[in-house]
């Protein structure tokens, strides 16, 4: 074998070896769950952030020229929600130049990330009136609150903990499973002392230790799609909201016609 072909062989073997290192393909311990309920979800919402406060959902919907911040009751009769035209309790149009992303609540303020505009928009929870904006570096994907800080994802394996007043980064956490980075972290929720994250373009929600960044388990929600008629590949699982009253998560997806109440086993 001449040197050229030997090198070619080595490069090929290395490429094959690398193809087997697909971080997100490594499944974590499965978390058992049961679906307690389902309800309608406006399919016009390109869900980016979802949370529950009291008896209402708060949801952000993305895309340029179409981004919205809305609230609507959890327990509204299904007959009314079956109507696509049913009004929101409150609705705020996000300026056209912003692509709305993750949404979190802390105190009486709603914090809304924007995808590439490096601008955090702050709204009053009760009125959805715009209050102020704060600039930051990097992309905005998911956002959650642990009661003291705001936690942001940017599509990588990194979570950023921000001071809610200044949005300065105060802690950086790398998320790993078996020592391997877990990337594409998207919509977030903080519940029961853990960070829960949608993996973008997958049917999985992972449970992350907020101290170490290790993945403690995962929910595989692929079975929910069997209950839906989806028309395009962008209609991915996205949206996790902890419902304290029900002690369960509401989950949905981008342009999904339904939301599901999912209780996970301890
Ligand atoms: Ca959420």
In this structure, which residues have their CB less than 5 angstroms from ion ligand 1? 50-51, 189, 240
Determine the pLDDT at residue 262.
Answer: 96
Residue range 208-238, pLDDT digits in tens: 999 999 999 999 999 998 899 888 889 999 9
3-state secondary structure 161-218: EECCCCCCEEEEEECEECCEECCCEEEEEEECCEEEEEECCCCEEEEECCCCCEEEEE
pLDDT digits (tens, 9 = 90+) for 7-20: 544 445 444 444 44
- Report the pLDDT value the prediction gives residue 77, as an integer from 0 to 100: 64
**42-78 per-position pLDDT tens digit:** 999 999 999 999 999 999 999 999 999 999 999 866 6
- Cα–ligand 1 centroid distance for 150 (angstroms): 12
Q: What's the confidence (pLDDT) of residue 231?
A: 87
% of the chain beyond a pLDDT of 90: 79
Q: Please name each of the domains of the chain with its CATH number.
A: 38-264 (2.130.10.10)
* CA 71 – ligand 1 centroid, Å: 14
The token duo for 251 is 């989950």
Query: What is the Cα–Cα distance from 195 to 236, expressed in whole angstroms?
Result: 20
Average pLDDT score over residue span 196-205? 95
Average pLDDT over the chain, rounded to whole? 90
Q: Under a CB-based contact definition with an 8 Å cutoff, are residues 127 and 109 in contact? A: no
Cα-to-centroid distance, 238 and ligand 1 (Å): 9
Taking the centre of ligand 1 as the mean of its atom positions, its distance from the CA of residue 185, in whole angstroms, is: 12
pLDDT value for 143: 98
In the chain, the N- to C-terminal Cα span, in Å, equals 58
């Amino acid at each position: 074998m001449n040197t050229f072909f030997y090198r070619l062989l080595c490069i090929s073997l290395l490429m094959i070896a690398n193809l087997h290192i697909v971080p997100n393909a490594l499944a974590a311990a499965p978390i058992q769950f049961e679906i307690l309920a389902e309800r309608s979800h406006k399919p016009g919402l390109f869900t980016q952030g979802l949370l529950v406060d009291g008896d209402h959902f708060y949801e952000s919907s993305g895309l340029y020229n179409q981004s919205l911040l809305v609230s609507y009751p959890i327990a509204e009769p299904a007959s009314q929600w079956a109507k696509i035209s049913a009004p929101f309790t409150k609705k705020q149009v996000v300026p056209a130049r912003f692509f709305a992303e993750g949404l979190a609540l802390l105190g009486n303020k709603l914090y809304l990330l924007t995808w590439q505009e490096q601008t955090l928009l702050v709204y009053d929870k009760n009125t959805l009136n715009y209050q102020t904006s704060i600039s930051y570096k990097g992309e905005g994907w998911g956002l959650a609150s642990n009661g003291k800080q705001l936690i942001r994802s940017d599509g990588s394996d990194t979570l950023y903990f921000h001071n809610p007043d200044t949005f300065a980064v105060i802690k950086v956490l790398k998320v790993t499973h078996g020592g391997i980075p877990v990337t594409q972290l998207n919509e977030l929720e903080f519940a029961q002392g853990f960070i829960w994250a949608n993996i973008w373009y997958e049917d999985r929600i992972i449970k992350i230790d907020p101290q170490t960044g290790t993945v403690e388990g995962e929910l595989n929600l692929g079975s929910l799609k069997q209950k839906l008629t989806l028309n395009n590949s962008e209609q991915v699982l996205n949206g996790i909201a902890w419902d304290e009253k029900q002690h369960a998560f509401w989950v949905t997806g981008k342009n999904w016609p339904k939301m599901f109440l999912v209780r996970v086993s301890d």
